[in-house]
Amino acid sequence: MRRTDPRWQPGNFDKNLDAVNRLTEIARYKGISVSQLALAWLLAQGDDIVPIPGSRRQERVAENAGAADIALTAADLAAIEQILPHGGFGERYANGATPVWI
């Protein structure tokens, strides 16, 4: 998968890794995990957005649920937007691999 996924290709991979490192700094400053930061960001996008995180371990379920109690400030949201203005770097799917929903 990583050989063909555009987000793992040279250039995009480095930009995405840098973004994760920068998001990790924000999360550390707030005393939360990067996963919680991502979920809190999703929850801040509006009442019509409902994240559905997957978890294999009970402690991760509790961690994910804790994201609902995290309030991101306007400055937090602006910092995240600056780091990832259009989402991850690179296309979501490789050419010809975009799913078709019937």
Tell me the β-bridge partners of 47.
none
* Of residues 90 and 80, more confidently modeled: 80
pTM of the predicted model as reported, rounded to 2 decimal places: 0.84
Judge whether residue 81 has pLDDT over 90: yes
User: pLDDT for 27-62, tens place per residue?
Assistant: 999 999 999 999 999 999 999 999 999 899 999 999
Give me the residue label for tokens 């078709």. 100
CB atoms within 10 A of CB 81: 11
Question: 32 is written with which tokens?
Answer: 């939360």
Judge whether residue 77 has pLDDT over 90: yes
The mean pLDDT value for 88-97 works out to: 79
51 backbone dihedrals φ, ψ, rounded to 5°: -70, 145
pLDDT score at 3 = 76
